Amino acid sequence: MFIDTHTHIYVEKFDDDRAECIDQAIEAGVSKLYMPNIDSKYIAAMRQTQKEYPEVCIPMMGLHPCSVDGDYEKELELIHRELTSHPYVAVGEVGLDYYWSRDHMNEQQAAFKIQIEWSNELTLPLIIHSRDSLDECIEMVRANKSVALTGIFHCFSGTIQQAKAIIDLGFYIGIGGVVTFKNSGLADVVKDIPLEYIVLETDAPYLTPHPYRGKRNEPKYIPIIADKIAELHHISIEELAKITTATAKKIFQA
């Protein structure tokens, strides 16, 4: 049994075959799909997906850093209202993204800090996006977290030193399709990360693992990611599934 801790199965790219994709994931042994929000435009689609697959598709609520702009405070009001009026298992996906643009760095940092505070107040795990900003995200969490706060640094692609810093914060590390990329260098890091701090994710429809790179990513590819990590740690895929599933359940209190 596997858990995909990070998939955007509710977005438009799955509108034509969402049910089929979810059914194929279940057939592949992926029993839970945790869905991080992007912004208020996606809430209805995410909740509808949950309604159709209530035992499988589990929603989170947050404002993605790429949706942060000069009007982010109004957007945060909508997100906070939703977060506090419906049951969500985490605050996410939140964080910083300096890859696409640095035009709204200050706004991204302000929005991230506010959402860390929500996680502290609601005792919900925090799901962090940290593209080209991993050190900054680590430092912001360190400076603003409560003692009890935990969560996942999603789509980790950093160094072993950064992985240790994340673990020292009481957080976990989301590993996806990039670990299967031949020249990413991530495999050399993942082999040294303790397995009990790793969770599996696809980030579907993005970051499709080899050998399907270039095509739409889907939750059914979780076993490919698991197989690569199991190989790096010299254990069976069954044992890897057992460890990562237990960790995901611990994080989400499932």
Structural domains in the chain, sorted by start:
2-252 (3.20.20.140)
What pLDDT does 111 receive? 98
87: left (phi over 0), alpha (psi -120 to 50) or beta: beta
What pLDDT does 103 receive? 84
35: left (phi over 0), alpha (psi -120 to 50) or beta: beta
The predicted model gives 69-95 an average pLDDT of: 96
Supply the DSSP symbol for 42: G
The predicted model gives 242-254 an average pLDDT of: 96
19-42 pLDDT per residue, tens: 999 999 999 999 999 999 999 999
Q: What is the DSSP string of 109-176?
A: HHHHHHHHHHHHHHT--EEEEEET-HHHHHHHHHHH--TT--EEETT----HHHHHHHHHTT-EEEE-
What pLDDT does 76 receive? 98
pLDDT at 58 over 90: yes
In percent, the amount of the chain with pLDDT more than 70 equals 100
pTM above 0.75, yes or no: yes
The predicted model gives 150-156 an average pLDDT of: 98
The predicted model gives 187-208 an average pLDDT of: 98
What pLDDT does 70 receive? 85
Burial (CB < 10 A; 0-12, 13-18, 19+), residue 124, is buried
1-17 pLDDT per residue, tens: 999 999 999 999 999 99
pLDDT at 137 over 90: yes
For residue 137 the two structure tokens come to: 């995200």
What pLDDT does 100 receive? 82
178-187 pLDDT per residue, tens: 999 999 999 9
Band (102; pLDDT cuts 50, 70, 90): confident
The predicted model gives 223-237 an average pLDDT of: 98
Band (90; pLDDT cuts 50, 70, 90): very high
Q: Which of 123, 100, 203 is nearest to 170 (CA)?
A: 123
